[in-house]
Amino acid sequence: MSNDAFISIQNVDKYFGKFQAVEDVNVDIAHGEFFSLLGSSGCGKTTLLRMLAGFESPTNGEIYIDGHAMSEVPPHQRPVNMVFQSYAIFPHLNVRDNIAYGLRKQKLSKARRYEMVDEMLNLIALPEYGDRKANELSGGQRQRIALARALILRPKVLLLDEPLGALDKQLREQMQLELRALQRTVGITFVFVTHDQEEALTLSDRIAVMSGGKVLQLDTPSGLYETPRTQEVASFIGTMNFFDAEVIKASSTSIELSARGLGKVAAPARDQQYPKGAHVQVAIRPEKLRLSNDRPADTKNALQGQLKNSAYLGERSHFYVSVDGIEKPIAVSSQNREQISTGADQTRPVWLSWNDEALVVLNAD
């Protein structure tokens, strides 16, 4: 366990009967971190979160929170609280009583309880809503109440299981910003579950990408996007062009490759070591390719192809360029800084170019 880990998940497996839902997860989370578990439905996110909460026990391994092993600690004695997707607030109680619900076992004066609830109402920017009935609230407001109800207990860790999943896109984006601001204000460690990659990128300090019960990669948002380690991670986060490649020569700083479709290319070596002749993949994001009508003079990394298709999306356009040697057209994305006319002259020869730094070498998996 590293010194600054506030939550340490060590060698954790979870079986349901013979089915393994979580496999050998090792994750350290720092105090005050906004940490996300990202992966498609069924990959084990909720199971991992429920093990943190104590609703499930690991089959193997141990979870430490704030330096204490959790295996013998029941849910209500853990310094955590959980917020669910279906905002479980009580329809027959008003907002104030909903928020104060968790305090009922604590011996507090009515005045103190009111004070604490008012503090929470301010925090979630609904100061005038204490007397409202829960069924007189919008989805976004209910979710804020659910957050306040969890936060009033001052947990050291807040566990959030797709808390914005039921909201429509616009509200969800607004709530993402609010949630992030809220987390910074209260300084509590958040462990957030989502299947939405944009949401994870927007909110998180770090993200664990999960698939089939395993953590594929744990990194910062930009680390995951810029330097994914496997094809699975690279294609889960955003769009990526992949090329089969063979290593020609590798040093500690640079890898020379022969890539199908691209020809001879050089990519930065990011703590990667490959023997000569190794079969790998080279990947490049659509927005890191430049499209031009003429061969660019300023780079050796240029390739001619045929523009097959384009899609105008307002602020940006997507282009699909076919090149010799590969079947799938290469995706290019560029910002429409100047007014462009769409639809004209679609199939035509174009040039693609890129910088070495834009290339990522991936294990062929």
CB 244 within 8 A of CB 281: yes
Question: Which residues have C-beta within 8 Å of that of residue 1, sequence separation ≥ 6?
Answer: 8, 10, 28, 64
Contact with ligand ADP (CB under 6 A): which of 34, 45, 126, 352? 45
| DSSP string over 137-158 | S-HHHHHHHHHHHHHTT--SEE
Q: CA dihedral in degrees (335, 339, 343, 345; nearest 10)?
A: -100
CB of 17 or CB of 74, closer to ligand ADP: 17
Residue 54 as a binder of ligand ADP (CB under 6 A): the answer is no
Of 291, 295, 287, nearest to 358 by C-alpha is: 287
CB of 45 or CB of 172, closer to ligand ADP: 45
CB of 37 or CB of 352, closer to ligand ADP: 37
Nearest-approach distance from CB 56 to ligand ADP, in angstroms: 8
Residue 43 as a binder of ligand ADP (CB under 6 A): the answer is yes
CB of 19 or CB of 111, closer to ligand ADP: 19
Of 39, 54, 48, nearest to 20 by C-alpha is: 48
Binding region for ligand ADP (CB under 6 A) out of 37-45, 61-69, 76-84, 305-313: 37-45
Nearest-approach distance from CB 209 to Mg ion, in angstroms: 15
Nearest-approach distance from CB 16 to ligand ADP, in angstroms: 3
Q: Residue 57, SS3?
A: coil
Place of tokens 């639809």: 343
Residue 44 as a binder of ligand ADP (CB under 6 A): the answer is yes
Of 44, 3, 7, 345, nearest to 206 by C-alpha is: 7
Q: For the chain, what percentages of helix, strand and coil (3-state, to nearest 5) are there?
A: 25, 35, 40
Site for ligand ADP in 6-25 (CB under 6 A): 16, 19, 21
What are the residue ranges of helices labelled H in 13-65? 45-53
Pairing state between β 189-194 and 302-312: unpaired
The residues of the shown chain that bind Mg ion, judged by CB under 5 A, are 46
Nearest-approach distance from CB 22 to ligand ADP, in angstroms: 7
Site for ligand ADP in 133-162 (CB under 6 A): none
CB of 29 or CB of 43, closer to ligand ADP: 43
Residue 85 as a binder of ligand ADP (CB under 6 A): the answer is no
What is the spatial distance between Cα 66 and Cα 192, in angstroms, rounded to a whole number?
18
CB of 47 or CB of 98, closer to ligand ADP: 47
CB of 159 or CB of 307, closer to Mg ion: 159
Which element (helix H / strand E) includes 28? strand 19-30
Question: Which residue has the closest beta carbon to Mg ion?
Answer: 46
Binding site partner of 47, from ligand ADP, Mg ion, none, Cβ cut-off 5-8 A by kind: ligand ADP
Q: What is the CA radius of gyration of the chain?
A: 25
Nearest-approach distance from CB 159 to Mg ion, in angstroms: 12
**Contact footprint for ligand ADP (CB under 6 A):** 16, 19, 21, 39, 41-47
